[in-house]
Amino acid sequence: MNTPAKLSGFVAAVAAVFGIALLVGATVGPVEEQTEDPAASAHDAGHGDAAATGSSAETPVVEETPGGLMTYRNGYSLALAETNVDSGEGRNLTFAINGPDGTPVTDFDVTHEKDLHLIAVRRDFTGFQHLHPVLDENTGIWSVDVDLTPGTWRVFTDFTPTGGDALTLGADLTVAGGFRPTAPRSDNRTATVDDYEVTLDGDLSSGTDALLTLTVSKDGQPVTDLQPYLGAYGHLVALRGGDLAYLHVHPDGTPGDGATRPGPEVVFHTAVPSAGTYHLYLDFQHDGVVRTAAFALTADGAGDTHEEPSAPVGHSHSGR
């Protein structure tokens, strides 16, 4: 008696499976296109590149693979001279950016006042450093001193090869010695560094261009004479928890434009590609010293793509 009901249930199930298969097909397609797309670059994410790359313009903001996850991309690669090193302060690190012809690149476009920005961070989000290596133009070898504690580090190089698109390549660096991983940071909107306190306002939500306002105070007084650092009153790097996807965060306004004040507020905008916790590092300069304030902020997945349409974005398996 029940058979027709069962059958129609089966048909519905098959239809559901097909529906999911169709969805998967639809979502895999653009990703495959993207891996062939040499123009994919973190710098230009969400800034109108989609039209130029020929991918049909839906929501271009967060469709790209974020930067920093790949060691090889668009024919370029990050080659660390050594991938296993000893710990210590001021450890010399050398590397090359190899180009599509397999030889080290020596011509770079200046971005944020430098040819190349290097971010080194231990994979448990300890020991963040934002450095500017020096290039030997004869050999294409970059050199920089890094303070390394034992553990696995991620090294990011953020650059624009002349004639090419902006890229962020990442590679792991293993530092010998025993270490105890730092527990994951829970969300924090206040960071203290030396005599400074920095607070973070604004929320992250996938698919939305978020405004983040960082407010700097010293000894309880607002700081109103921040100094430009890399052409802005602050430089913010965002790394996603779990995989350390590297996001570009753009400052709002530039020093000397007549509207941007030297603190206490520094405003940035960014679009995160997914839900998740993001680790944010603000470099700011005051009294001639660059300091880094560290935050963590969890983004909701309101704009996450590739979700099953009927399922809420939250998690239904929490079991509580």
| Span near Cu ion by CB under 5 A; candidates 16-24, 115-123, 187-195, 284-292 | 115-123
The residue type found at 38 is P
Q: Does 117 bind Cu ion (CB under 5 A)?
A: yes
Q: Which residues contact 310 (CB under 8 A, 6 or more apart)?
A: none
Judged by beta carbon, residue 23 or residue 193, the one nearer Cu ion is 193
Judged by beta carbon, residue 117 or residue 248, the one nearer Cu ion is 117
**Residue facing Cu ion at closest CB distance:** 117
- Nearest approach, Cβ of residue 255 and Cu ion (Å): 16
Cα 272 to Cα 263: distance, rounded to the nearest angstrom: 25
Q: Contact 99/76 with Cβ under 8 angstroms?
A: yes
Q: How far is CA 90 from the centre of its chain?
A: 25
- Nearest approach, Cβ of residue 118 and Cu ion (Å): 7
| Span near Cu ion by CB under 5 A; candidates 49-57, 111-119, 256-264, 304-312 | 111-119
| Span near Cu ion by CB under 5 A; candidates 116-124, 138-146, 166-174, 310-318 | 116-124
- Nearest approach, Cβ of residue 33 and Cu ion (Å): 31
Total of residues contacting Cu ion (CB under 5 A):
1
Q: Does 122 bind Cu ion (CB under 5 A)?
A: no
Judged by beta carbon, residue 117 or residue 240, the one nearer Cu ion is 117
- Nearest approach, Cβ of residue 160 and Cu ion (Å): 13
The total of other beta-carbon atoms located within 10 Å of residue 289's CB is 10
Judged by beta carbon, residue 239 or residue 299, the one nearer Cu ion is 239
Judged by beta carbon, residue 107 or residue 113, the one nearer Cu ion is 113
Judged by beta carbon, residue 23 or residue 166, the one nearer Cu ion is 166
Q: Alpha helix locations (H) across the chain? A: 3-36, 49-53
3-state helix, strand, coil in the chain (%, to 5): 15, 40, 45
- Nearest approach, Cβ of residue 220 and Cu ion (Å): 30
Q: Does 248 bind Cu ion (CB under 5 A)?
A: no
| Alpha-carbon distance values, 203 to 68, 207, 216 (Å) | 23, 12, 18
CA neighbor of 131 nearest in space, from 116, 140, 114, 118: 118
Judged by beta carbon, residue 162 or residue 224, the one nearer Cu ion is 162
Burial 193-219 (b: 16+ CB within 10 A, else e): eeebbbbbeeebbbbbebebebbbbbe
- Nearest approach, Cβ of residue 230 and Cu ion (Å): 6
CA neighbor of 244 nearest in space, from 95, 73, 84, 71: 71
- Nearest approach, Cβ of residue 117 and Cu ion (Å): 3
Cα 37 to Cα 209: distance, rounded to the nearest angstrom: 24
Judged by beta carbon, residue 62 or residue 167, the one nearer Cu ion is 167
| Span near Cu ion by CB under 5 A; candidates 97-105, 109-117, 135-143, 267-275 | 109-117
The residue ranges that bind Cu ion (CB under 5 A) are 117
